[in-house]
Amino acid sequence: MLALAGGEEIADSLKASAQIGDSVEHGAVQIRDSARQFIAFLGTKHHPLGPSPFLPAPSNADVDHQPIESRRRDVRVPETMTLPRPGYHSKVSKYNVVDATPFRRDPMKELAEACKKHDIKLCFYYSQAQDWHEPNGAGNHWDFPPNEEKVFDQYLRDKSLPQVEELLRNYGPIGLIWFDTPRLMTREHANQFSKLVRSIQPSTLINSRLGPGDDIDYRSMGDNQIPHTVLEGAWETAATVNDTWGYKEDDHNWKSPADITFKLVDIVSKGGNYLLNVGPTADGVIPEPSQEILRRVGRWLKVNGEAVYGAGRTPFGEELGSPIPGKKDRRGQQAYDVKKDWRCTTQPGRL
């Protein structure tokens, strides 16, 4: 789950922040509708380290409700975001949800307790290399030196690796750490992370966006990317319910429940897992359109979940639609009606 303050509210909160004297390098009052300007603001190196009204806080989040809703929608593994803006109480950096926002609570601790209560696996997202707040982290080239001048090893040693250790030690069993944005990551760097994970929680899964390491559990496709054919090995598609990963109040291009259901079956039939992102608002509320989409997909899963959970790949290879009797394509092969596209999954001994 990714959360950013969206639309007009962010401009208002930035103005208020500037008026009370928060240190803002680029001038918050000038930041209005331009996405690029907003990104530049997020990347500034001067952030208030005390509670600040411009920093979003999940004041309306109901962490106990999320696992219950996951069960009701037949969603098996909730994953939550902790970075790039640390959404947990980190002792490594004061720029976190407890020390830098009015919230003053650790929602990840509360969510971990709720997941344990409802027997749901807790997984974390962690961006191990990209960090706009640190001079040696990847990504911020407007405030800090270019990548070739960064001391990236120092950033990993002093911040990234210690924060991963915090997540593994402080929140109970972790099903997965979903690493992302592996800029500047080498094989040696990736192996440092996988070695750390295995040393603390050996059963925690590691995805391929950690970087070019030797010890990963499965392949992460590109964002919203679904392969055309059946793939060998474990893999996953991460996708959005609309056009954005975080919350954006003017993005109403919601995918239909039918579209998401088809993508789910399509991915499973090719051997993959569907990781569907829902972006809550800045105060921790899942938008109602997202909830309704998930409820409707959940109702379908209640009836047809056997064809999804624990299901295997289709035995038919790439599926191109329904055969058109007596018609050949330009290569002289069987023609298919793609408007009647279909997918098939398997359980042991049966389709």
DSSP symbols for 40-96 = HHHT-S----S--TTS---TT--TTHHHHHHHHTT----EEE-TTTT-S--SS-S-S
48 and 77 fall within a common domain: no
- Domain check: are 264 and 209 in the same one? yes
Does residue 329 lie in a domain region?
Answer: no
Q: How many domains does the chain have?
A: 2
User: Are residue 124 and residue 49 in the same domain, yes or no?
Assistant: no
On whether residue 66 sits in a domain, the answer given is yes
Instruction: Report how far apart the first and last C-alpha atoms of the chain are (Å, whole number).
Output: 34
Q: Is residue 102 part of a domain?
A: yes
Residue 337 within any structural domain of the chain: no
C-alpha distances in Å from residue 36, one per residue of 3, 32, 131: 18, 10, 17
Q: What is the residue whose two structure tokens read 């998401």? A: 260
| Dihedral sign of CA atoms 68, 69, 74, 78 in order | negative
Q: Is the CB of residue 207 less than 8 Å from the CB of residue 176?
A: yes
Q: Say how many residues make up the chain.
A: 351
Do 239 and 122 reside in the same domain of the chain? Answer: yes
Torsion of CA 322, 323, 328, 330, to 10 degrees: 30
In a domain, residue 146? The reply is: yes
Residue for token pair 């994953």? 79
Spell out the long-range contacts of 39-46 with Cβ–Cβ below 8 A and sequence spacing 24 or more: 40/142, 41/14, 42/132, 43/132, 43/139, 43/140, 43/142, 43/143, 44/143, 45/133, 45/135, 45/140, 45/143, 45/144
Residue 350 in domain: no
pTM of the model: 0.79
Number of CB atoms found within 10 A of residue 150's CB:
19
**Cβ(7)–Cβ(248) under 8 Å?**
yes
Residues 174 and 75 in one domain: yes
259 lies in a domain? Answer: yes
Based on the domain organization, do 34 and 113 belong to the same domain?
A: no
Would you list the DSSP string of 123-146?
EEEEESSB-TTSTTSBS-TTTS--
**β-bridge mates for residue 226, sequence order:** none
SS3 332: coil
Domain of 264: which CATH number?
3.20.20.80
Q: Say yes or no: 107 and 44 in one domain.
A: no
Range of the domain at 32: 11-54
Query: Which residue ranges of the chain lie beneath pLDDT 50?
Result: 3-5, 7-50, 54, 84
Q: Classify residue 271 by its DSSP letter.
A: T
271 contact partners, CB below 8 Å, separation of at least 6: 230, 231, 232, 233, 234, 235, 312, 313
Element (H, E) at 174: strand 174-180
* 124: in domain: yes
Out of 307, 328, 346, a domain closes at 307
8 A C-beta contact, residue 191 and residue 221: no
Residues 29, 66 within the same domain: no
Contact 100, 17 (CB under 8 A): no
* Pair 345, 311: CB distance under 8 Å: yes
Quickly list DSSP for 180-244.
E--TT--HHHHHHHHHHHHHH-TT-EEBGGG-S-S--SBEE-STT---SS--SS-EEEEEESSS-
Q: Are 43 and 68 within one domain?
A: no
Determine contact, residues 112/171, Cβ cutoff 8 Å: yes
The token duo for 3 is 């959360």
Q: What is d(CA 278, CA 79) in angstroms, rounded to the nearest whole number?
A: 10
Same domain, 77 and 30: no
Together in a domain, 188 and 87: yes
Examine the domain organization and report whether 18 and 110 are in the same domain: no
Rounded (10°) CA dihedral 219, 223, 229, 232: 10
pLDDT of residue 136: 96
